[in-house]
Structure 1
């Protein structure tokens, strides 16, 4: 527990410092986090970082996330070309390796690239648009995690998804939402300037972040359970991998984009 707290404080301080600075330093940090998360996801399927196909995907992830620094209308014109280029390159590796690298592995990496890169691209874009909104989303997510942990540990009896994540409980999930709502209210009162059009909108966005953040956590747990892995990595002592830490954000940010809350 001590190691977990120390790691959380150390890495959290670095993350928040660069988040506050924003611009290129924050974009580079997020690009690095995205690439490592992608490599962890590839490793779950026993695809090591030395594989040419994995390296191609890593470069694509870095380009997409760093591309958030470019004017959106400029970069968006390149999406289709990048999409097609990546698909052709991955399939070409299958041909060059005489199917030692299979089509199924190509599909896994292809999905992994966009599953990882798009949320982190949106994170950088959101920081460019509004520091307050980034802080709101992150703090609500952290409140959700804390609420689930402490309430689940104290009152948890009924399993939420025993076949996917045996330690999670329905009581912990409810506590997570309650913590998120209280934190969102306090954050808005402290910031002062309205983040959303009404308190009703604030509540709705908070519920979306908290509920789907938990679903994102379960989604990553399902992937790890399928491959028989406990943690996605060990880069964060006491916490696991970066994918373990950002699984909720990876799921939530695309939904916020779909609902037009970030762009």
Structure 2
């Protein structure tokens, strides 16, 4: 537990520092996180991280994320062309790998690269929103952490009904509800003290967005648990002692951001 707390404090402080710095350092830092999370998914599948398709996917993810802060990159490697290059490399490798690399693995690599790249691209873009970007980033992060803490402590104290026993046996319905309640409290406090309210005192909109973040954040956690259970692993990686991998820490964020994007909450 001590190691878990120390790792969480150190990693959280570093993460917040780069958010506050913003600009290119933030984009490069998030690009690195995204690439590592991608490689964790690659290894989980049993694909060598040193294979040509895996490395190509990692480069794709990094450029996709960093491009959000350096739009000039698109003048040299436009996103659609970059995607086409990844597909071509992956399929050509399948042809010349003598059946050591199949279409199932190719599809896994491509989906992993796009899903993770898209989410972290949206995260960097959100930080660059004029006027409210920094506040919105902290709003989402605080709600995620509040939801996780509320679900954990309420679940341990009052949890009886299993939420998804076949995927994550320790999660409970009571814990999920507790996470939502704590997130709502955190959201109202945040909106009351932030210098520039995100929702212009529209409490109804604040509640709706908070519910989306809290509920779908927990579903994102379950989605990653389902992936890990399918591949028979406990953690996505070992980069964070006591916490597992980066995918374990950012599974909720990766799930939330595309949903907020589809609903035009962020763009």
Corresponding position of 1:70 = 70
Corresponding position of 2:198 = 195
Q: Deviations over 1:206-254 (max 9, x none)?
A: 0000000001000000000000000000110111000000000000001
Q: Secondary structure at the match of 1:69?
A: coil
Q: Is the 8 A contact 1:217 1:248 kept in 2?
A: yes
Q: Give the drift of 1:196.
A: 1.4
Q: Distance in 2 between matches of 1:211 and 1:247?
A: 13
How does 1:233-244 map onto structure 2 within 5 Å? 233-244=237-248
Q: Deviations over 1:6-48 (max 9, x none)?
A: 1010010011011001011111110110000000000110112
Corresponding position of 1:156 = 159
Q: Secondary structure at the match of 2:169?
A: strand
How does 1:54-69 map onto structure 2 within 5 Å? 54-69=54-69
How does 1:139-178 map onto structure 2 within 5 Å? 139-178=142-181
The answer for unaligned runs of 5 or more in structure 1 is: none
Q: Is the 8 A contact 2:127 2:134 kept in 1?
A: yes
Q: Secondary structure at the match of 1:91?
A: helix
Q: Give the drift of 1:50.
A: 1.1
Q: Distance in 2 between matches of 1:145 and 1:122?
A: 22
Q: Secondary structure at the match of 1:68?
A: coil
Q: Between 85-94 and 239-248, report the one with greater CA deviation.
A: 85-94
Question: 207, 212, 215: which one pairs with 1:211?
Answer: 215
Q: Is the 8 A contact 1:39 1:48 kept in 2?
A: no
Q: Is the 8 A contact 1:49 1:55 kept in 2?
A: yes
Q: Distance in 1 between matches of 2:126 and 2:84?
A: 26
Q: Secondary structure at the match of 1:166?
A: strand
How many aligned positions are there? 262
Moved over 4 A (4+): 72-75
Pair 1:73–1:205, CA change in 2 (3 A): farther
Q: Is the 8 A contact 1:234 1:241 kept in 2?
A: yes
How does 1:1-263 map onto structure 2 within 5 Å? 1-71=1-71, 78-129=78-129, 130-197=133-200, 198-263=202-267
Q: Distance in 2 between matches of 1:125 and 1:41?
A: 24
Q: Distance in 2 between matches of 1:72 and 1:200?
A: 39
Q: Is the 8 A contact 1:65 1:121 kept in 2?
A: yes
Q: Distance in 2 between matches of 1:74 and 1:230?
A: 38
